[in-house]
Amino acid sequence: MAEPLIVTRGLTKVYRMESYTVTALQEVSVEIKAGEFVAVMGPSGSGKSTFMNLLGCLDSPSGGDYYLAGEKVSELTGDALAAIRNRRIGFVFQNFNLLPRTSALENVELPLLYSQVSAQERRSRALAKLAEVGLAERAGHHPAQLSGGQQQRVAIARALVNDPVLILADEPTGALDSRTSFEVMGLLQQLNRRGMTVVLVTHERDIAAFASRIVSFRDGHVVDDQRVAQPADAQALLRAHQPAAA
């Protein structure tokens, strides 16, 4: 049997304040196989964001182990974590986090700036990923000239540009209307169908419904972990919502 892509064992995160400590995550053990589409759900304060930050190597756990693609990431620090984020993980944020006054193409190139890639190759790879999300002709546009959905697609292209093993999407539809939300989810589903592992954090049940597995958090614990028998198809939904005239 193939080694799961993500393995956490007793993953714990404790925040120490001046006078008290907060246990944001307590002994979480989860396995995610390559090719899964997992939605992480839970109310605010449930620990789902902390879990995401640890999966994304943006933060180090206080206890427990985390293996990403067989590598024990939980004992890495600083530059080694930066390298993992750069090569293994693609991030999609709620507020897109694109650099303002910078073209879509250069935004997509950004991760390659930090991984010895020639300027020429940066450009061609970024263009290819922009084409993949259907924005090739918008390469020269600045974020302010793009719609919210387009901006999020640029962000997805940026997440894909270094060919990661994992896409981490933190409330990717939080700033979008439902129609564009479906577009973005459709894109993520499409990527997942091609084999990309996607972990999505959301508090919306209808967005989580597009995933093939839902992990629910409460008070720092996993309270529910179940497969979705029949995930909703975002592209089918979109087609159904098309005005009849079209």
Q: Which residues bind another protein (CB under 8 A)?
A: 53, 56, 58-59, 78-79, 82-83, 85-87, 91, 93, 97, 99, 101-102, 110-111, 113-115, 119, 158, 162
Task: Please state, as a whole number, how many other Cβ atoms lie within 10 Å of the Cβ of residue 206.
Answer: 14
In contact, 7 and 67? CB cutoff 8 Å: yes
Report DSSP state, residue 82.
H
- Provide the minimum distance between the beta carbon of 229 and another protein in the complex, in angstroms, as a whole number: 34
β-strand partners of 214: 39, 226
- Cα gap 170→95, rounded to integer Å: 9
The residue among 156 and 214 lying less far from another protein, judged by its C-beta, is 156
Q: Are the C-beta atoms of 186 and 152 separated by less than 8 Å?
A: no
For the CB of residue 120, give the shortest distance to another protein in the complex, in Å. Answer: 13
CB of 215 to another protein, least distance (A): 20
Cα distance between residue 178 and residue 237, in whole Å: 11
For another protein, the closer CB: 87 or 218: 87
DSSP string, 129-164: HHHHTT-GGGTT--GGGS-HHHHHHHHHHHHHTT--
Residue whose CB is less far from another protein, 53 or 180: 53
- Pairing relationship of beta strands 37-41 and 197-201 according to DSSP bridges: parallel
CB of 53 to another protein, least distance (A): 5
- Closer to another protein by Cβ: residue 114 or 134: 114
Distance CA 117, CA 56 (A): 22
> Cβ of residue 35: shortest distance to another protein, in angstroms?
23
Q: Shortest Cβ distance from residue 212 to another protein (Å)?
A: 26
Residue 91 vs 210, nearer CB to another protein: 91
Give the pairing of strands 221-227 and 63-68.
Answer: unpaired
8-state DSSP, 165: S
